[in-house]
């Protein structure tokens, strides 16, 4: 993942980043402006009221579908959804595997 030297945020041209933000918009109903404002340290589960336990299940299902991956139950823990950066790094690692 390429980071912008000015903001420390993922490069906006990164397809994984853009798709993950689109998934968050679709699943949680976040505005595209709020989704675009998420940085690597932006909190997700517990920080976004829109991301409740039902939304988490839908979010993981959408990630699997849109990125054509399988997420095993033992890969899901609190750190996965702690921040946007953690979730993005997880998806990047799964795609690279």
The residue-averaged pLDDT of 40-51 equals 96
Please state the pTM of the whole predicted model. 0.84
Residue 14 binned pLDDT confidence (cut-offs 50, 70, 90): confident
Structure tokens of 53? 């336990």
Predicted pLDDT at 84: 97
Domains of the chain with bracketed CATH: 15-96 (1.10.1200.10)
Taking 80 as the threshold, does the pLDDT of residue 10 lie above it?
no
The residue-averaged pLDDT of 67-79 equals 95
* Closest to 59 in 3D by CA, of 8, 85, 24, 22: 24
* Closest to 45 in 3D by CA, of 72, 23, 24: 24
Residue 9 binned pLDDT confidence (cut-offs 50, 70, 90): very low
């Amino acid at each position: 993942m390429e980071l912008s030297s000015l903001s420390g945020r993922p490069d906006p041209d990164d397809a994984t980043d853009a798709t993950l933000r689109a998934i968050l918009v679709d699943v949680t109903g976040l505005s595209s402006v709020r989704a675009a404002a998420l940085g690597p340290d932006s909190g997700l589960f517990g920080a976004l009221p829109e991301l409740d336990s039902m939304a988490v299940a839908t979010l993981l299902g959408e990630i699997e579908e849109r990125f054509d991956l399988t997420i095993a139950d033992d890969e899901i823990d609190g750190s996965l959804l702690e921040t946007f950066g953690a979730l993005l790094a997880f998806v990047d690692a799964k795609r690279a595997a």
